[in-house]
Structure 1
Amino acid sequence: MKSQPTIVRPCGYMERYSTSRHSLDLYHCVSVTGRYAVPATRGSDHEGLRALLQRAVVQVVLEQPMMRVGIVDEDKQSTSFVHIPRIDLSEHVQWFGPCQPNTVDATLSKHLSFHHSQPWPEIDRRPPWKVTVIPVRGGESHSEIEVVYSFHHAINDGNSGSIFHSRLLEALKNPAEELPGLHGKELELLELPLVPPPQHELVNSRISWPFFLWTLWGAFGPSWLKSKPQVVPWKARPIDLSQPKQTNTHILRVPAPIAAKLVAAARAHSVTLTPLLHALITASVSHQLPASEAPTFEPCSPVSLRRCVPNTSNFDTKNTMLVLVTSADHPIPSSLTTKLRESTDENDESAIWEVATCVKASLDQKLASIPHDDPGAMLKYVSDYHGFFRQKNGEQRSNSWELSNLGAIDGGDDAGDWRMTRAMFSQSASAVSPGLSVNVAGIKGGELTLTLCWNPSVVDTALVGGVAADLEVWVPKVAGVRE
């Protein structure tokens, strides 16, 4: 008879948001990828390199409680995290064959597209995370390796992926002499992990009566009593839960010199990178779609709630992997999209900077108000999470697209030691959220990577290809790099 797993704690409201999406096959995983420069003394010893990386992964697992739990009852309202007493590392650490430098991005894109389209197997007995390694060959040695950390969104948020790589880099530089419980490819975990509390316990979100009533009215008020907006933003095709759950990816690299100038250009206009990239995407989609179909847009940006955790909390928000996230909407006035469309001078960037300023204003407003009157705090009033998502079938999507910016990871600067030279961020194309996500990650002082993720049944691939092509041209131009 199969033994029952030991419950660590019930899933919180935001965690159940992700477990229910996963159980309904609506959203699968998040990935943060790091390219590591391998020290010259390590690159030619392929087996030694594998063993070293496995030990480094185990070192991170032993310090991160959320990497040591599984999930039970995803199809129920009583979903819980459970203790995983033994991890078979052969199921969680996978090596691909080596790639040439000019083919690694194509291999990565293919792998990410596949992985983002697959649900996690047997999550009651396996922690829902995986590390995939793709060596980049330099002669006979592996000069670099791509390390893909993929995870179920209920155990980690995007920032957790950055933390994983920061801690992995530290483990590679300073390996532990002893790793308790490691026997070959098996990691025995006898003690229950001391997991952090859920988001709603860590962050004190106050809900005002006007916000509470307005949210309920938006969710349950009869449509015939609601006023119709004068201009309806474009949000791709409506939600159709019968469509294939497929994720396509496109990787766009921004070299370090251009990335630095892009950030400087944004600062010179009193905005940050996130509003500027939103503005460039708005300009691209505005030029590709007619005003009759897309009079305006309302994108969104995930926002970390780590800053909202009180200092009295007994865990390190900078180094602990968990879920602490909300989202900010950015309604863009139709007058600005009209201005973008009417701009005939390709050297006139004023409309782009106006849109960036508009997005920054809405982002600043959100940052000033959190954690109070936050929609995520309303999840505690959802009694049936699966029904919550099923009833969205046929509805308009929440936003035009999502832009998620992880920021820059410190990759180290010792040329003779382990260091990260690139970071990438990607995620599943959600069946119930924006059909397109643009995911941004970088290395401090290094290059920037934009990964576009979309479901071709929701957003036309030609449109996404146009966005990618425009960004490839406009990013250097806005950065002030002239050919």
Structure 2
Amino acid sequence: MDQFEKLRPVGRLEKYSTARHQIGFYLNLAVAATYELPKSFTLPVEDYVLRACASVISEHPSLSAIPAADDTQEPYFVRLPIIDLDKVVRFTQREHGIPRDVSPGEGDISPDLDLQAVFQEEHNTPFVAPNPYWRLHVLVDKQDTHKFTAALILHHALGDGGSAKSFHTSFLRALQTQTASDGETPRSVTSLQIPMLPNMEEIHPMPLSFWFLAKKVFQAKVYAPRDPGLWTGSKIQPPTSSRVRLVPFAQGLVERLRKACRQERTTITALIQTVYARSLFKHIPDQFFRLNCTGAFSTRRFLPDIIKEDSMGVFVADIEESYTRSAVAPADSTAFPWEEARRSRQTIQDTLDRKGADVGPNLLKFVNNYQKELCLSKVGKDRDKSFEVSNIGVVSSGSAPDQPSIQGMAFSQCASVIGNAIGVSVVTGGDGCLVLAISWQEEVVDDELINASIMSTREELRKLAGY
């Protein structure tokens, strides 16, 4: 990497993802958006995609950077001088076509099987230097030449789920400013000589209270008994092999759920956490009576002005929650426990109110060897988390009828060898449809359990929406 311009050191949170990727414990995340072009766009889709990519690369410096020395404890970013678009953008013909609502009046919508296959393939494909550490996999449809689905596959050291969403916001803006007379379509982009955004510890104190730190040190160094009733899938085992299922919900159902959440003083994220916990309890053995859930939230809201809401980088922290069978899925009641959804919402709000204090990433300052201490030392041991719910929110279509627009979206993550047994990634697109991407590691969680939990989740959400 000596031939490339050295940018800045990899930050602690970025280093965590760099280390996980380097040993194959976590490879990437993905956010996809289906774009609709107006009839006035007469060029082939490929031209518009490549032109928009060139614009986005010029807007976000992280897309021109890759980590170097990632097998050491002192990795750093270097700038690739040129991005060859033919190496990062791939076009694939759809086999099943763009999905349509099965029965919108009943809240049913078809899963995008082509996109599901793309996610599963890409989540099992690592990045290799000196290629860029992101890819754009574009699905095109012979039957509808004015619609395409672009899936951004991103190394987590370059950006989080919110960053991938920001990529699509920039991509849409680039499409909306294009004309057929923009000249020759670029096949490569020269990187701009602008600095990367700072990492978290450069712009935020990432504080730890005495009691939070003392608790974590005691658990790590002295005594951390494992609850025998905690379900977390099988023991930690590499290598990772990701499986993915997409579970979409139509706009009408989502609107009803939002209304119900407002009435019950909770949120969609807290609702999904509670519903999925109930779904798992229905299908795991009765001997398990506890589930540990984690979530992620963007820290951009309380960072300095240099970090914008649409900045690409790693600006996230974690939320921890726990559910018991007796509270969430009691044997003597089938009623939905809205009090648990309200409790979950309060946990999320309490974490946000701390503005980045006493969260997991703040403890990374005490790690000496990321690969050994955080990853390899855990192989063969029980994991401590059951499932994750990560919701990157709502993306507006944001355009007039005669402009390109975003319709459906999906957010997905690869399986994590040392992380939660199951990942539930959530996003709502410009069409108002909400999509869950369920991901898990092969041989860590049974496919039958995933299928059963998805069926129960779908049934519960339909019931809560009044269908």
TM-score for both structures, normalised by structure 2: 0.92
Letter in 2 for 1:112: F
Give the Cα–Cα distance (whole angstroms) in 2 for the partners of residues 183 and 413 of structure 1. Answer: 24
The aligned counterpart of 1:217 is 218
Question: What RMSD in Å do the two structures reach over aligned CA positions?
Answer: 2.2
Verify the 8 A CA contact 2:300 2:307 in the aligned structure 1.
no
Over residues 102-127 of structure 1, what are the superposed CA-to-partner deviations in whole Å (9 max), with x where a residue is unaligned?
498212111110110121112xx222
* 1:127 is aligned to 2:122: no
SS in 2 for 1:31: strand
The aligned counterpart of 1:456 is 442
The aligned counterpart of 1:34 is 33
Give the Cα–Cα distance (whole angstroms) in 2 for the partners of residues 382 and 177 of structure 1. Answer: 53
SS in 2 for 1:57: helix
The aligned counterpart of 1:240 is 237
The aligned counterpart of 1:265 is 260
The aligned counterpart of 2:82 is 86
The aligned counterpart of 1:329 is 320
Give the Cα–Cα distance (whole angstroms) in 1 for the partners of residues 309 and 227 of structure 2. Answer: 44
In structure 2, the CA distance between the partners of 1:121 and 1:45, relative to structure 1 (3 Å rule), is same
Give the Cα–Cα distance (whole angstroms) in 2 for the partners of residues 162 and 151 of structure 1. Answer: 11
Letter in 2 for 1:105: D
Letter in 2 for 1:237: S
Structure 1 residue 416: deviation in Å? Answer: 2.6
Matches within 5 A, 1:280-291: 280-291=275-286
Give the Cα–Cα distance (whole angstroms) in 2 for the partners of residues 104 and 186 of structure 1. Answer: 34
Structure 1 residue 370: deviation in Å? Answer: 3.2
In structure 2, the CA distance between the partners of 1:60 and 1:177, relative to structure 1 (3 Å rule), is farther
In structure 2, the CA distance between the partners of 1:192 and 1:176, relative to structure 1 (3 Å rule), is farther
* 1:303 is aligned to 2:293: no
Structure 1 residue 303: deviation in Å? Answer: 1.4
* 1:188 is aligned to 2:193: no
The aligned counterpart of 2:15 is 16
Give the Cα–Cα distance (whole angstroms) in 2 for the partners of residues 467 and 361 of structure 1. Answer: 25
Matches within 5 A, 1:2-13: 4-13=3-12
SS in 2 for 1:367: helix
Structure 1 residue 198: deviation in Å? Answer: 0.5
Structure 1 residue 230: deviation in Å? Answer: 5.8
* 1:417 is aligned to 2:413: no
In structure 2, the CA distance between the partners of 1:207 and 1:3, relative to structure 1 (3 Å rule), is closer
Aligned length: 455
Over residues 449-470 of structure 1, what are the superposed CA-to-partner deviations in whole Å (9 max), with x where a residue is unaligned?
1111111211111111111111
Structure 1 residue 360: deviation in Å? Answer: 1.6
Give the Cα–Cα distance (whole angstroms) in 2 for the partners of residues 176 and 210 of structure 1. Answer: 58
SS in 2 for 1:284: helix
Over residues 392-435 of structure 1, what are the superposed CA-to-partner deviations in whole Å (9 max), with x where a residue is unaligned?
11232231100110110011242232001111000110000002
Verify the 8 A CA contact 1:134 1:145 in the aligned structure 2.
yes
Give the Cα–Cα distance (whole angstroms) in 1 for the partners of residues 94 and 297 of structure 2. Answer: 36
In structure 2, the CA distance between the partners of 1:411 and 1:398, relative to structure 1 (3 Å rule), is farther
Letter in 2 for 1:255: A
Verify the 8 A CA contact 2:197 2:307 in the aligned structure 1.
no
Verify the 8 A CA contact 2:50 2:186 in the aligned structure 1.
no
Give the Cα–Cα distance (whole angstroms) in 1 for the partners of residues 182 and 55 of structure 2. Answer: 7
* 1:150 is aligned to 2:153: yes
Over residues 181-205 of structure 1, what are the superposed CA-to-partner deviations in whole Å (9 max), with x where a residue is unaligned?
x98412222x533111111112222
Structure 1 residue 101: deviation in Å? Answer: 2.6
Give the Cα–Cα distance (whole angstroms) in 2 for the partners of residues 457 and 317 of structure 1. Answer: 40
The aligned counterpart of 1:371 is 356
The aligned counterpart of 2:104 is none
The aligned counterpart of 1:110 is 117
Verify the 8 A CA contact 1:35 1:423 in the aligned structure 2.
yes
Matches within 5 A, 1:300-449: 300-310=294-304, 313=305, 315-337=306-328, 339=330, 341-343=331-333, 345=334, 348-349=335-336, 351=337, 353-388=338-373, 389-444=375-430, 446-449=432-435
Structure 2: gaps spanning 5 or more residues: 100-109
Give the Cα–Cα distance (whole angstroms) in 1 for the partners of residues 173 and 348 of structure 2. Answer: 33
In structure 2, the CA distance between the partners of 1:229 and 1:148, relative to structure 1 (3 Å rule), is closer
In structure 2, the CA distance between the partners of 1:316 and 1:12, relative to structure 1 (3 Å rule), is closer
TM-score for both structures, normalised by structure 1: 0.89
Structure 1 residue 51: deviation in Å? Answer: 1.3
Give the Cα–Cα distance (whole angstroms) in 1 for the partners of residues 263 and 8 of structure 2. Answer: 48
Give the Cα–Cα distance (whole angstroms) in 2 for the partners of residues 67 and 176 of structure 1. Answer: 24
In structure 2, the CA distance between the partners of 1:79 and 1:179, relative to structure 1 (3 Å rule), is farther
Give the Cα–Cα distance (whole angstroms) in 2 for the partners of residues 199 and 230 of structure 1. Answer: 33
SS in 2 for 1:391: helix
Letter in 1 for 2:147: E
Structure 1: gaps spanning 5 or more residues: none
The aligned counterpart of 2:141 is 136
Give the Cα–Cα distance (whole angstroms) in 2 for the partners of residues 456 and 323 of structure 1. Answer: 27
The aligned counterpart of 2:49 is 53
Give the Cα–Cα distance (whole angstroms) in 2 for the partners of residues 300 and 386 of structure 1. Answer: 22
The aligned counterpart of 2:458 is 472
Give the Cα–Cα distance (whole angstroms) in 2 for the partners of residues 399 and 454 of structure 1. Answer: 13
Letter in 2 for 1:379: L
